[in-house]
């Protein structure tokens, strides 16, 4: 297609596997791949006996973050998710297990919904395997929330400083609690602001995430290709640096005598010439404040594929932070000082992995019957939903590009492809609750991102709600849809009116229950749910987001339908069309 941007890629479905192969082959002295998922990048000479394992991670597309910081003195491992999508819990678990040295594991990542959920689930799994595990979310992005709600802020290039400090504290022998305290100290002292001059182009779509006319800039965007919080006329390098630095200087309360570290970070396609101009002005502003720059880094350290633009990060130093920042490390993307050779026999003998037990299956003969939606009909509905998502994937990604990172259609397509593969492996007449468990597992492992845990939790709860049924009658079908809504809500914490997928799922559950209570058959329940979900998705256009992908945009998201709600409506319409016809 003539409107697709050219990328030096091969098969988009093999993109991350080939990225990992390329990184490991380029840095054999530092990196190796490990684990059942093949997505854990691990330090060649780690883990070290008695040291806290440091795992940093997130989606791909931010290179050299995150795997570029794996090496002695910094991170022990990094799980790689899909483009701009969190790694799955199994991928994270692989990295955590590889990094474990007997003193616990600390997961560090940017504060994005998908990362928070997936890393938390991996930490829970490590705990079940008798490995102490904690999570730490970086929150350095000033633009993404006011100071009073700093815990809601995103992690952007400030990850660099927090990872460095945590890695040093662990390398110096700190306990898990002491390393968490060091990361907290670094996060509290770090602030970032960014500006985009062009959108990034996702390899799978070949198109920009959003449209940014020449002569304009997005201020305060994240690192997932999402728009910023404000669009302004483009400015000079000095004016941009002043704009980015003003809130940083104010929040850090920088004053004469303070010592700072500075990172001027390119987002993927900004020249070093431009970045040095930004640093020039940054140094001037800090000097005028009476501050001394202890260390500076200028270059690409946390990118957003090929986005044009840059971010400025400042960390206000104290003696401890300065010591940790100067502590030697040796990784593909960062070398500080001279690190001593690894001692002979470095590393810790790994314990055998504890396999998760198989899911219990259900005996069809023991289940309640009576209903038009049996196992085969339910499977056909799932398959129809998958085909509908495939047909709408480009439109869903375009909707997401208006308020998020532009990959929702790709994410849902990936999840439903995995679902179809899982369904093929199951015999005919597999009970509906077992089908739901298989769908949950497939989504969780294939997707990562926020949709993975959300849909996994939804299908698991929905299957549990009808675990006593072979066939779904109207009441059971309504109960199943309610289970989807409640499972998603329990995992994500959103509610009605928050501008998320629940604004389609909750009305669908209400409508299905009302239809069943009014004596409607299975087809009537599905039709009512689909109609309510479609209205609910449309209604999200008028909402200001309280959660989810568009929360950071505030009023800029008004007028745009939530992509998650829209994909829910797509699924429910397909299920209604493929299910029993309403009488």
Q: Tell me the C-alpha distance between 518 and 280, whole Å.
A: 71
pLDDT in tens, 301-349: 999 999 999 999 999 999 999 999 999 999 999 999 998 776 654 455 5
Tokens linked to 561: 């339908």
In the chain, list all ranges with CATH 1.25.40.340.
364-578
Identify the bridge partners of residue 264 per DSSP, sorted by sequence position: 298, 312
pLDDT exceeds cutoff 70 at 234: yes
pLDDT in tens, 128-139: 999 999 999 999
pLDDT exceeds cutoff 90 at 188: yes
Better-predicted residue by pLDDT, 364 or 257: 257
Q: Check if the beta carbon of residue 105 is closer than 8 Å to that of residue 133.
A: yes
CATH topology of domain 1-138: Rossmann fold (3.40.50)
Q: What is the DSSP string of 253-266?
A: T--TT-EEEEEEEE
Q: Tell me the C-alpha distance between 401 and 230, whole Å.
A: 15
In the chain, list all ranges with CATH 3.40.50.10440.
1-138
Q: Look at residue 345 in the predicted model and tell me its pLDDT.
A: 45
DSSP secondary structure code for residue 142 in this structure: G
Q: What is the mean pLDDT of residues 462-487?
A: 96
Please report which confidence band the pLDDT of residue 1 belongs to, taking 50, 70 and 90 as the band edges: very low
The pTM (predicted TM-score) of the whole model is 0.87
Q: Tell me the C-alpha distance between 386 and 380, whole Å.
A: 10
Give, in degrees to the nearest 5, the angle at Cα 83 between 80 and 85. Answer: 70
Please report which confidence band the pLDDT of residue 207 belongs to, taking 50, 70 and 90 as the band edges: confident
Q: What is the DSSP string of 422-442?
A: HHHTSPTT--HHHHHHHHHHH
pLDDT exceeds cutoff 70 at 406: yes
Q: Check if the beta carbon of residue 70 is closer than 8 Å to that of residue 80.
A: no
Does the domain at 364-578 match CATH 1.25.40.340? Answer given as yes
CATH, domain 188-200+212-327, list 3.30.1180.20, 3.20.20.140, 3.30.1060.10, 3.40.50.2300: 3.30.1180.20
Q: Does the N-terminal peptide bond of residue 64 adopt cis geometry, omega within 30 degrees of 0?
A: yes
Catalytic residues: 224
pLDDT in tens, 344-377: 544 555 555 554 545 556 667 789 888 999 999 9
């Amino acid at each position: 297609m003539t409107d697709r941007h050219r990328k030096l890629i091969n098969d988009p479905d093999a993109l991350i596997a080939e990225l990992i192969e390329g990184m490991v082959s380029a840095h054999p002295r530092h990196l190796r791949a490990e684990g059942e998922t093949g997505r854990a990048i691990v330090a060649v000479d780690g883990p070290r006996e008695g040291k806290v394992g440091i795992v940093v991670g997130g989606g791909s597309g931010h290179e050299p973050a995150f795997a570029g910081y794996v090496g002695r003195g910094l991170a022990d491992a990094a799980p790689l998710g899909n483009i701009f999508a969190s790694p799955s819990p199994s991928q994270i678990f692989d990295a955590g297990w590889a990094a474990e040295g007997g003193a616990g594991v600390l997961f560090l990542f940017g504060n994005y919904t998908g990362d928070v959920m997936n890393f938390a689930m991996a930490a829970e799994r490590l705990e079940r395997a008798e490995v102490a595990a904690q999570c730490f979310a970086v929150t350095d992005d000033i633009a993404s929330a006011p100071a009073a709600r700093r815990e809601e802020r995103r992690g952007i290039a400030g990850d660099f400083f927090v990872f460095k400090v945590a890695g040093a504290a662990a390398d110096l022998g700190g306990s898990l609690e002491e390393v968490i305290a060091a990361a907290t100290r670094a996060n509290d002292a770090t602030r970032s602001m960014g500006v985009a001059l062009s959108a990034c182009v996702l390899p799978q779509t070949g198109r920009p995430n959003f449209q940014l006319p020449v002569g304009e800039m997005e201020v305060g965007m994240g690192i997932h290709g999402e728009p910023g919080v404000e669009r302004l006329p483009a400015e000079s390098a000095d004016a941009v640096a002043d704009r980015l630095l003003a809130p940083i200087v104010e929040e850090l309360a920088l004053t004469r005598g303070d010592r700072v570290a500075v990172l001027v970070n390119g987002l993927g396609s900004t020249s070093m010439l431009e970045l040095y101009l930004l640093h020039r002005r940054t140094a001037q502003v800090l000097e005028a404040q009476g501050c001394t720059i202890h260390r500076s880094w200028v270059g690409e350290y946390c990118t957003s594929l090929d986005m044009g633009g840059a971010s400025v990060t400042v960390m206000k130093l104290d003696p401890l932070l300065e010591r940790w920042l100067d502590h030697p490390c040796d990784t593909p993307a960062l070398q500080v000082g001279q690190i001593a050779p690894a001692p002979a026999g470095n590393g810790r003998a790994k314990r055998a992995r504890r396999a998760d037990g198989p899911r219990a299956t259900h005996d069809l003969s023991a289940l309640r019957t009576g209903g038009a939606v049996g196992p085969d009909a339910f499977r056909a509905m799932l398959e129809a939903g998958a085909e509908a998502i495939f047909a709408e994937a480009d439109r869903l990604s375009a909707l997401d590009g208006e308020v998020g990172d532009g990959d929702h259609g790709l994410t849902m397509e990936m999840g439903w492809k995995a679902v179809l593969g899982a369904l093929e492996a199951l015999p005919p007449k597999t009970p509906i609750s077992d089908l739901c468990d298989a769908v949950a597992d497939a989504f969780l492992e294939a997707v990562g991102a926020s949709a993975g845990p959300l849909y996994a939790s939804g299908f698991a709860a929905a299957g549990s709600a009808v675990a006593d049924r072979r066939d779904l009658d109207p009441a059971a079908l309504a109960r199943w849809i309610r289970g989807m809504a409640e499972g998603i809500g329990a995992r994500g914490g959103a509610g009605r009116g928050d501008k998320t997928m629940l604004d389609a799922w909750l009305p669908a559950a209400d409508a299905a229950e009302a239809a069943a209570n009014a004596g409607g058959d299975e087809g009537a329940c599905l039709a009512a749910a689909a109609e309510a979900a479609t209205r609910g998705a449309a209604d999200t256009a008028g909402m200001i987001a309280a959660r989810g992908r568009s929360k950071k945009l505030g009023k800029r998201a008004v007028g745009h339908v939530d992509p998650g709600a829209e994909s829910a409506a797509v699924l429910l319409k397909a299920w209604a069309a493929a299910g029993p016809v309403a009488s």
